[in-house]
Amino acid sequence: MFLIHSELPWWQSAVIYQIYPWSFQDSNGDGIGDLPGITSRLDYLKGTPDSLGIDAIWLSPIYPSPMHDFGYDVMDYCDIDPRFGTLADFDRLTSEAHRRGIRIVMDLVLNHTSDQHPWFLESRSSRTSAKRDWYYWADGKSAHRPPNNWAARFGGSAWTQDRQTGQYYLHSFLREQPDLNWTNPAVRDALFGVVRFWLERGVDGFRLDAINWLGKDTNWPNNPRRLAWRSYYRQVHRYDRDQPQAHEALRALRAFVKDRPETVFVGEASSDTPGGPAAFYGTGSDELHEVFDFRLLRSPWQPDAFRRLILESDRAVPLGGWPPVVFSNHDQSRHIDRYGKGGDPVRRARAAALLLFTLRGTPFVYYGEELGLRDGTLGRSDLRDPYTIRYWPWKKGRDPARTPMPWDAELQAGFTTGKPWLPLSRDWRETNVAHEQWDAGSMLSLYKRLIRLKKESNALTAGTYQPVDAGPKECVLYQRIFQAGSRTEAMLIAVNFSSQVQTVSIPTTVPMHGRVGTVTLSTDAKRETERWNAERFQMGPDEGIVVRLE
Ligand code: GLC
């Protein structure tokens, strides 16, 4: 059968690999990853028969930054932080990546800048500064009371009073991250100029940070209160996010790049927005191409929850839009630890990998997850991220998921010749690329096989998602079906969420595109090429299988 890939926009058949630049590969011994380091590791990602086989890298921010939020506080949108290298290093990375068929997706923070950005320095300098209205300034309610009750995502009030002029500025995250005023056309033009700058340098798309925060109700009404443990959730975020303004901005952005239709915009929108994250697809062709939906990522490893959330998020995507599939990123504990709680983490992570590459959508792999890398065990003095520090030890925070990539069992796991900026994860001597590369039973080998299988299958790449309603409830079953003319390719996927053997039987009343087939991939490799029958089949503990239906 012909392969559909060449007919789809590239991002619909792509596997995207997220690199946290601080932690991928250091090239100069300062203990911090950098761009020449990433370039030196590209063969691992693509270009040789043994490569992982991904299609694009998403780089978490590499712009100059005081690093209060590790790059999500940008000081200059059109340069590279000296810790990571130079624009020349970036150009080399881009051309070396493109030579191997790897696209580049930049992280772009549109909602806020660093408080050290020249725009903000000018804005705060006086009430009459030319850039005053590039950010949100307001008078307090009284001498020491902020304009309203809005809470910042990282704790405390979303307003900070500035000594220079006595007014308050708005920051939805850290006080070092003032929010840009998107009602001001000059702000929009400046940021669209940034998009143009990177497109002209050759990037292929953008991951848009915290995109549902772009608009605010500038009458500054209080948010309604509600009961919750953590301060941020003690209010309904009715007026400080998810305003029509954000949708207008995205429509304008999409129109701005219409001369480059290959450009992809993947947005991060938090889940409890009206209409859910899917609202940010717009009609399906006028806002974002892909919108992260973190409900699955936040779910416990529980079959009913997965069944429901997979279906809901799949069906929420309008025609023209495309779902990303993501279980881990730089803001969350790694999914091997989250899903692994109360069970066998490695076996569950293997089953999760099978879901990642067989659900409908673009899989996003967070560096190290393909090795089964665990969260780092960090002490108070190791922590770097202000948000992690603020809630430590009550919340695990974000630093544990940001530890260096383990390449081998040599000094500092081959990540640096110096002292790594965060300690290595405890299991780096066994969990590293060199150790797993030639072991057919490793997590890395499973990821490679799954990626290959997805690429070779129209059903897994472009097929529809159809749940299969059959017991027992511990197993999640679905079909991926691709039809072209009179030809059909159908795959059955089954994942056992329990640690017991399960016997499954699919009643003849359940619509199936074939009741016999062959197991093409199992997380327990020994079953492969086994014949399969819908009447009755067994699933091993935590096992996941892909069956080619006949
Ligand atoms: C996004 C990023 C996170 C960052 C925040 C503020 O959620 O993923 O790392 O701290 O936005 O920019």
Q: Find out whether 347 and 308 touch, Cβ atoms under 8 Å.
A: no
Q: What is the pLDDT of residue 1?
A: 64
Query: Is the Cβ atom of 154 under 6 angstroms away from ligand 1?
Result: no
Domain with CATH 3.20.20.80 in the chain: 5-113+184-452
Mean pLDDT score, 476-486: 95
Ligand 1 atom nearest residue 387's Cα: 10
- What is the rounded average pLDDT of the residues 208-231? 94
Q: In testing the pocket of ligand 1, which one of 331, 387, 399 has its CB within 8 Å of the most ligand atoms?
A: 331
Q: What is the mean pLDDT of the chain?
A: 96
Ligand 1 center–CA 430 separation, angstroms: 31
CA of 85 to the centre of ligand 1 (A): 22
pLDDT, mean of residues 450-472: 96
Query: Is the four-CA dihedral 244, 250, 254, 255 of positive or negative sign?
Result: positive
- Tell me how far the alpha carbon of residue 61 lies from the centroid of ligand 1, in angstroms: 10
Q: What is the pTM of this model?
A: 0.98
Tell me: the pLDDT tens digits for 130-152? 999 999 999 999 988 999 999 99
| Residue range 463-549, CATH number | 2.60.40.1180
Please tell me if the CB atom of residue 366 comes closer than 6 angstroms to any atom of ligand 1. Answer: no
Name the residues annotated as catalytic: 209, 268
pLDDT, tens digit (0-9, with 9 covering 90-100), for 4-19: 888 999 999 999 999 9
Going by their DSSP bridges, the two strands 16-19 and 362-366 should be labelled as parallel
The strand ranges marked E within 51-117 are 56-59, 103-108
Query: Do 158 and 119 touch, CB atoms closer than 8 A?
Result: no
- Cβ–ligand 1 contact at 58 (below 6 Å): no
Q: What is the pLDDT of residue 6?
A: 82
Confidence class for position 274, pLDDT limits 50, 70, 90: low
Ligand 1 near 209 CB (within 6 A)? yes
**Per residue in 361-419, pLDDT tens?**
999 999 999 999 999 999 999 999 999 999 999 899 999 999 999 999 999 999 999 99
Nearest CA, atom 7, ligand 1: 210
Position 25 pLDDT exceeds 90: yes
The Cα–Cα gap between 440 and 227 comes to: 50
Mutate to test the pocket of ligand 1, among 58, 59, 209, 273 (most ligand atoms within 8 A of CB): 209
Give pLDDT tens digits for 276-285.
Answer: 899 999 999 9
User: How far from 431 is each of 11, 344, 350, 404, CA to CA, in Å?
Assistant: 30, 16, 14, 12
* Mean pLDDT confidence for 309-319: 95
Tell me if 72 CB under 6 Å of ligand 1.
yes
Q: Where in the chain is the domain with CATH 2.60.40.1180?
A: 463-549
Residue 368 to residue 428: CA distance in whole angstroms: 11
210 CA from centroid of ligand 1 (Å): 6
Q: Is the pLDDT of residue 525 over 80?
A: no
> Residues of the chain with pLDDT > 70: what percent?
99
pLDDT band at 528 (very low <50, low <70, confident <90, very high): confident
> Using 50, 70 and 90 to split pLDDT, how confident is the model at 271?
low
Q: In ligand 1, which atom is closest to the CA atom of 398?
A: 9
Which CATH number applies to 5-113+184-452? 3.20.20.80
- Residue 317 one-letter amino acid: V
Sheet of 103-108: strand order equals 290-292, 264-268, 205-208, 103-108, 56-59, 16-19, 362-366, 324-326
The residue behind tokens 């949100």 is: 136
Give the per-residue pLDDT at 3. Answer: 86
Please work out whether the CB of residue 385 comes within 6 Å of at least one atom of ligand 1: no
Ligand 1 neighbour 294 (Cβ under 6 A): no
Q: Is the CB of 210 under 6 A from ligand 1?
A: yes
The DSSP element (H or E) to which 307 belongs, if any, is: helix 303-316
Among residues 316, 207, 184, the alpha carbon closest in space to that of 269 is found at: 207
Taking CA atoms only, the protein residue closest to ligand 1 atom 9 is 331
